[in-house]
Amino acid sequence: MFIVAELEDTVKIEPKNFGKPDGEAITEVLNQKYANKILPDVGLCVCVHDVLEATPGMILHLDGCSYIKAKFRLVVFRPFIGEVLTGRVKSCSPSGVRVTLGFFDDLHIPAPALQPGSEFDPAEQLWVWNYDGEKLYMDLDEPIRLRVLREVFTDKTPTPATAAHAGRRQSAADASATADLQGNSSKIPPYALTCTIQEDGLGLLSWWGS
């Protein structure tokens, strides 16, 4: 579920932090920059594991800050394909089930990846597994076990076209199109996992007595 990723970056140490040991000051700045951030093709950064190397700081006369090139390792959330995770049901919709781990909410079980015989109950707004004559509801906040099928990284960096529009006055049509685009893009997470429960032992823990 968690891995260690090695990265390099230039760290800016402000004068107020010159009295701190280099390792402590560097770690503090890196945690502020990376903690709880998604890095494309890396994963969800949790915290700095350790600092491997750091060059002597260079102080610029413009701002008086010290700039240090550092090589460091981050603890990253990035489950491997096929890994089994345990979370809780966050929401249900006709398209599938969304699961949360508490610190990460973008796990999705598409409808075709649910247990065979599952159907969506529009009145309850829940999925139901019809098993051996019983209706087993997937109630919200229930513990659920699922397997990772694939991961999807989405680049959320503003496009040059968006930046170009910012430099001129928009027409009503442009403004409407931009609002629609922003609204749709905000629904797409930068990092998401597609999962399945279409196996014995997967699904709500209560189904299997565990």
The 10s digit of each residue's pLDDT in 144-165 is: 999 999 999 998 776 655 545 5
The upper half-sphere exposure of residue 169, i.e. CA atoms within 13 Å in the direction of its Cβ, equals 1
Given CA atoms 140, 147, 196, 114 in this order, what sign does their dihedral have?
Answer: negative
What is the pLDDT, as a whole number, of residue 160?
59
- pLDDT score at 62: 80
Taking only the tens place, the pLDDT of each residue in 87-106 is 999 999 999 999 999 999 99
Query: Could you tell me the two tokens for 14?
Result: 């402000």
Residue 173's pLDDT is 46
To which residue do tokens 């402000």 refer? 14
Structure tokens at 78: 């990035």
- Those residues whose C-beta lies under 8 Å from the C-beta of residue 94, and which sit 6 or more positions away, are 111, 120, 122
pLDDT of residue 16: 92
Sign, Cα dihedral of 175, 177, 180, 182: negative
Three-class secondary structure of residue 190 per DSSP: coil
Q: How long, in residues, is the chain?
A: 210
Report CA Rg, the chain. 23
Helices (H) and strands (E) in the chain, counts: 3, 14
Residue 63: its pLDDT value, please? Answer: 86
User: What is the distance between the alpha carbons of residues 22 and 12, in angstroms, rounded to a whole number?
Assistant: 11
Tell me the three state secondary structure of residue 123. Answer: coil
Enter the pTM of the model. Answer: 0.81
CA distances from 24 to 20, 56, 66, 84 (A): 6, 15, 14, 36
pLDDT of residue 95: 95
Distances, alpha carbon 47 to alpha carbons 21, 26, 110, in Å: 19, 12, 31
Looking at every residue in the chain, the average pLDDT score rounds to 88
- Across 76-86, b (16+ Cβ under 10 Å) vs e yields bbbbeeeeebe
Q: Please identify every stretch of the chain with a pLDDT value under 70, giving residue numbers as ranges.
A: 158-186, 210
What is the pLDDT at residue 200?
92
pLDDT for res 60: 81
If you search the block for the tokens 């599938």, which residue do you land on? 96
